[in-house]
């Protein structure tokens, strides 16, 4: 970042590139980024430490003794969890329990994302994993490989990959960052939506929008408890969760009971991603990094930005989205420009064939009730941006100049450099 008496130049991550924007210094109120916490000296040592100090759970080598089939659930390429480094340590622990590598399968928790390709699986997991165990995509689109387990007390239909139900040991991997639906990612989220069917995921997404605009940063909430109930039903043995800094380095790892270990990890996550700021601004400029493959990921930019913008303000989203809006939910553009009441009524009447999309479209519509959204993206066409009810711009400078023209020369500006992972906390 550089500055002059009149402007402040801010570099924003944009995929593998950097985009610079010059902001009038007198208008700038806050630059919000994850707190600078260094990564551990040795990732291998940290994973081994976590496995040797389980939280409210037995050692994995003890829990897995005499186990038949073991399933490791790992997050997909839309996450930064270093699964290629973690899984060999988990396999070594299982070997100490007498479990052979051929008894273990790794399932990629897609949620409702597209399947990973063979090339992507090779890149993400690497030979140290692929030479030992089979890695497969979750079968959320194949009813024959899913099993229904009834309903939760909130009416959520439970459909889970049968392989997880049949396994003797189930270990979930993930990274803990703030998340607008269950408060934080990881923990039991590796099961729901990780390896759940679309009906289950759609129901929890809709439930989240009916009860609150966003659960971002709230540990105890109805969606987290719903996910944990579903994880209990399949017998999630334990989770191994990491906490990363803004450079993708592990600052801590936790292993153990999916409730207790997750909550211990949240404390670390809050120290990295919880950032205070003095006031909501007229304009918020927010980069979607590191969630920027498609807008199905990048939409996480909106929720922290919604906290940082004043009512009636404008959010400028900067995101590359090389795969567009969504590969697996492309028809959501038919509904995303509708208002919140219309979307909610369609879901309640059963007129929404894709409730997962409907739940997110409803959340976006509620944000648009508070603030306008401008979009700067080389991967999303102007037509699709308008279908999202966003205003497209060719550059951040163009979007900022338009917003300054709207709010005047004294307009206030907040900048979120890694918006999807941030937990902005208004200092009141």
Asked if 27 and 133 sit in the same domain, the reply is no
pTM of the model: 0.91
Cβ burial, residue 29 (10 Å; 0-12/13-18/19+)? middle
The reported pLDDT for the residue numbered 2 is 47
Asked if 298 and 407 sit in the same domain, the reply is yes
The reported pLDDT for the residue numbered 5 is 54
Sign of the Cα torsion 55, 190, 197, 227 reads positive
Asked if 263 and 317 sit in the same domain, the reply is no
Residue 262 falls within a domain, yes or no? yes
401-410 confidence digits (pLDDT tens): 999 999 999 9
Among 272, 293, 321, the domain-final residue is 272
Asked if 339 and 193 sit in the same domain, the reply is no
Asked if 6 and 87 sit in the same domain, the reply is no
320-334 confidence digits (pLDDT tens): 999 999 887 878 899
Among 246, 272, 298, the domain-final residue is 272
Asked if 101 and 194 sit in the same domain, the reply is yes
Asked if 113 and 196 sit in the same domain, the reply is yes
For residue 327, give the DSSP letter: S
The reported pLDDT for the residue numbered 175 is 97
Of 282 and 360, the structure prediction assigns the larger pLDDT to 282
286-333 confidence digits (pLDDT tens): 999 999 999 988 999 999 999 999 999 999 999 999 999 988 787 889
Domains contained in the chain, number: 2
Q: Does the pLDDT value for residue 69 go beyond 60? A: yes
Domain boundaries, position 56: 43-272
Quote the mean pLDDT of the chain. Answer: 95
Which are the contacts of 144, defined by CB distance < 8 A and separation ≥ 6?
A: none
Across 175-202, average pLDDT: 95
The reported pLDDT for the residue numbered 1 is 47
Among 226, 242, 272, the domain-final residue is 272
Strand 274-277 to strand 423-426: parallel, antiparallel, or no bridges (unpaired)?
Answer: parallel
CATH code: domain of residue 213: 3.40.50.11440
The reported pLDDT for the residue numbered 20 is 96
343-387 confidence digits (pLDDT tens): 999 988 988 888 888 888 999 999 999 999 999 999 999 999 999
Q: Does the pLDDT value for residue 4 go beyond 60? A: no
- Region of residue 350 (left: phi > 0; alpha: psi -120 to 50; beta: else): left
Supply 257's token pair.
Answer: 């009971």
23-66 confidence digits (pLDDT tens): 999 999 999 999 999 999 999 999 999 999 999 999 999 999 99
Across 114-131, average pLDDT: 96
Asked if 356 and 211 sit in the same domain, the reply is no
Supply 72's token pair.
Answer: 């490791």
Asked if 253 and 285 sit in the same domain, the reply is no
Contact call for residues 189 and 182 (beta carbons, < 8 A): yes
Which are the contacts of 128, defined by CB distance < 8 A and separation ≥ 6?
A: 84, 87, 88
The reported pLDDT for the residue numbered 211 is 67
140-187 confidence digits (pLDDT tens): 989 999 999 999 999 999 999 999 999 999 999 999 999 999 999 999
Residue 38 falls within a domain, yes or no? no
Residue 37 falls within a domain, yes or no? no
Which are the contacts of 33, defined by CB distance < 8 A and separation ≥ 6?
A: 246, 275, 416, 417, 418, 422
Asked if 387 and 287 sit in the same domain, the reply is yes
203-261 confidence digits (pLDDT tens): 998 888 876 778 999 999 999 999 999 999 999 999 999 999 999 999 999 999 999 99
Residue 414: closest CA among 313, 270, 320: 313
**Cross-strand bridge partners of residue 136:** 107
For residue 240, report the phi and psi dihedrals to the nearest 5 degrees.
Answer: -120, 105
Asked if 282 and 268 sit in the same domain, the reply is no
CATH code: domain of residue 393: 3.90.226.30
Asked if 315 and 363 sit in the same domain, the reply is yes
Q: Does the pLDDT value for residue 336 go beyond 50? A: yes
Contact call for residues 38 and 250 (beta carbons, < 8 A): no
Residue 120 falls within a domain, yes or no? yes
């Amino acid at each position: 970042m550089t500055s002059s008496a009149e402007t402040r130049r801010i570099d924003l991550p944009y995929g593998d590139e950097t985009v610079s924007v010059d902001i009038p210094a007198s208008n700038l109120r806050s630059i919000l980024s994850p707190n600078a916490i260094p990564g551990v000296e040795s990732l291998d040592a940290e994973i081994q430490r976590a496995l040797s100090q389980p939280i409210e759970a037995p050692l994995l080598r003890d829990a897995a003794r005499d186990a038949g089939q073991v399933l490791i659930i790992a997050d997909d390429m839309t996450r930064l969890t270093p699964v290629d480094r973690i899984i060999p340590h988990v396999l070594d622990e299982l070997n100490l329990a007498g479990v052979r590598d051929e008894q273990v399968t790794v399932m990629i928790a897609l949620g409702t994302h597209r399947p990973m390709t063979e090339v992507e699986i090779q890149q993400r997991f690497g030979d140290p994993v692929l030479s030992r165990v089979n890695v497969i995509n979750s079968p959320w689109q194949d009813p024959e490989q899913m099993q229904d387990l009834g309903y939760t007390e909130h009416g959520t239909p439970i459909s889970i990959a049968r392989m997880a139900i049949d396994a003797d040991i189930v270990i979930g991997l993930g990274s803990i960052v703030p998340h607008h639906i269950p408060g934080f990612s990881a923990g039991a989220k590796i099961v729901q939506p990780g390896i759940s069917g679309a009906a289950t995921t759609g129901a929890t997404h809709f439930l989240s929008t009916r009860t609150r605009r966003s659960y971002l940063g709230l540990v105890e909430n109805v969606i987290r408890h719903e996910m944990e109930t579903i994880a209990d039903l399949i017998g999630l043995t334990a989770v191994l969760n990491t906490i990363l800094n803004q450079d993708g380095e592990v600052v801590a790892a936790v292993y153990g009971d999916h409730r207790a270990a997750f909550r211990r990890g949240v404390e670390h996550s809050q120290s990295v991603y919880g950032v205070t700021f003095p006031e909501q601004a007229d304009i918020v400029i927010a980069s979607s990094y590191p969630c920027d493959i498609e807008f199905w990921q990048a939409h996480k930019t909106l929720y922290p930005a919604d906290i940082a913008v004043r009512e009636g303000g404008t959010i400028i989203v900067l995101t590359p989205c090389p795969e567009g809006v969504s590969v697996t939910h492309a028809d959501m553009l038919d509904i995303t420009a509708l208002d919140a009441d219309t979307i909610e009524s369609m879901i309640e009447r059963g007129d929404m064939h894709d409730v997962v999309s409907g739940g997110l479209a409803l959340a976006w519509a509620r944000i648009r009730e508070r603030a306008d959204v401008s979009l700067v993206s080389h991967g999303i066409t102007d037509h699709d941006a308008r279908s999202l009810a966003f205003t497209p711009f060719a550059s951040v400078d163009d979007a900022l100049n338009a917003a300054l023209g709207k709010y005047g020369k004294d307009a206030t500006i907040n900048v979120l450099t890694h918006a999807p992972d941030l937990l902005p906390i208004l200092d009141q």
